[in-house]
Amino acid sequence: MKKVRNNLLSLFSFKPVLLLLVLLLSCKEDDPQPLTADAKVNNWIFDTMEFWYLWNDQLPASPNKNTDPETFFKSLLSSEDRFSWIQDNYRDLLNSLQGISKEAGYEYVLYRENESSNNVVAQILYVKPSSPAEAAGLKRGDLITRVNDQQITVSNYQTVMAQVKENHSLRYKPLLVNEQQFDAEKTISLTTIQYAENPHYMNRILEVGGKKIGYYVYNFFASGTDSNPNAYDAQMANIFATFKSGGITDLVLDLRFNSGGGEDAANSLASFIGKGIDNTKVFARKSYNTQVEKEIVDDPRYGADFLIAKFTSKASNIGSMLSGGRVYVLTSSRTASASELVINALKPFMDVFLIGDVTYGKNVGSISLYEENNASNTWGMQPIVVKVYNSLDQSDYGNGFTPNVLNEDNSLFIYPLGDTRETLLSQAIAQITGTATTGRAPSRETRPIIGHSLDQKRRGFSLIVQSTVHSRQSTVE
């Protein structure tokens, strides 16, 4: 409009009526309609995805930007993409990746009550330390039948279980572990808090059959929190220092509840375990879209080496201590992404023996994209931007890793984590010692899983790659 006005000013003293007419016509033809708040955010989404998205060559040419940002974002996704997501508050997104969320402090799995019933039960998988759930006395194995006095069914379980994100009541049957039966129903009320989960759930040394077995339950990959970025890394180092000084002969790594997290934490874990590895060995190779990869390679600050992640030399590496150069990994259908990255990265260097269910199958990674301190745009995206390979250029686990010993671990009668009678741990011990442990046969009282609280976790099924490459992002103004 400014350019038109300047061109016409010379005519002003001669043809004022014509000038006014041309100005009005020009404004009508040239002035775009003001963008809505959603359209501005959608412009940012598209420009950012156009640069970063792994499948940016599949983006629609003319997407409809007159929709809400979540709908718009989903309209951009490739049919190959099962994982990218967006949230309306990037701070919530970042918190979720650090294990910070509003909750009562327990994770659960959903089963049909029995084959002939439409009722659903939620069984506690683990209770988090110093949480309202722990204070109320909930324990692994307890069976929830009602939430806020509502029966859980196959038709309403998603809406009913969504209520546990706020203060709620539970009707449940406590599991009597030694008797392997359920007690009479109880009712409790739980408050939800902003809870920061520690990924290091359990670590101990078990002495069985002349073996010293390190057992480590690690529930998500994070190096630390915003207030202490290296806190969890330091704790991991202490755990492996204890394993090393304790003279363990075998390691059982329990990743059955671990559906992903940060690349750096995955590198640290693999670097403590791998046999014969140091900072000269390849942990993973990363492949971005053509545009991002060219910018990385051409930028003198990064170069081609940026695409290769090396292991980290660790003083408390235990690889050489492990019998037969083997690590035992307990898995489930929710073992995903960064967990699978660790499995894949270790395979060229040692025997990775899997026990449990087929893993999820996610060999791609994402980054967090958002505009900090822009009140006009609080949205945060977690799009897939990279595919990962190990040192042998292998990335063939899109359908998951099949365990050496297959067990879906779906019995109602379960033991505490770390108990040598617990199904998956007992099978690992049997492999290590060559002797079976006693306990209820895993085939009894089993049933198919219909849902899982871990599916609702935003960190779930994530591999968060580290990247300092500058993207050509637009800004919402």
The sheet carrying 405-406 orders its strands as 200-208, 211-218, 250-254, 326-331, 351-356, 405-406
**Residues 142 and 108: beta-carbon distance below 8 Å:** no
Q: Is the pLDDT of residue 156 over 60?
A: yes
User: How much is the average pLDDT of 76-102?
Assistant: 93
**Residue 29 corresponds to which tokens in the numbers above?**
């033809």
CA dist 473 and 47 (Å) reads 6
pLDDT tens-digit readout, 192-225:
999 999 999 999 999 999 999 999 999 999 999 9
Cβ neighbours around 232 below 10 Å, total: 25
Q: What pLDDT is recorded for position 464?
A: 61
In a domain, 380, yes or no: yes
Listed residues 194, 212, 238: the one ending a domain: 194
Same domain for 126 and 257?
A: no
Does residue 387 share a domain with residue 367? yes
Give the chain's domain count. Answer: 2
Question: Is 243 found in the same domain as 131?
Answer: no
Task: Confirm whether 389 is domain-assigned.
Answer: yes
Task: Examine the domain organization and report whether 132 and 206 are in the same domain.
Answer: no
How does the average pLDDT of the chain come out, rounded? 89
The answer to whether residue 127 sits within a structural domain is: yes
The boundaries of the domain holding residue 228 are 198-439+457-464
Instruction: Tell me, yes or no, whether 5 lies in a domain.
Output: no
CA–CA gap between residue 266 and residue 251 (Å, rounded) = 17
Q: Are residues 326 and 220 in the same domain?
A: yes
Indicate whether 123 pLDDT > 90. yes
% of the chain surpassing 70 pLDDT = 87
Q: What is the mean pLDDT of residues 368-388?
A: 95
pLDDT at position 4 is: 35
Q: Are residues 214 and 189 in the same domain?
A: no
Instruction: Indicate whether 120 and 202 sit together in one domain.
Output: no
Whole-model pTM: value is: 0.88
Residues 148 and 203 in one domain: no
Does some domain include residue 13? no
| Planar angle of CA 281, 285, 290, nearest 5 degrees | 150
Q: What does the pLDDT read at residue 460? A: 45
Check which CATH number belongs to the domain holding 181 and give it: 2.30.42.10
Say whether both 328 and 401 belong to one domain: yes
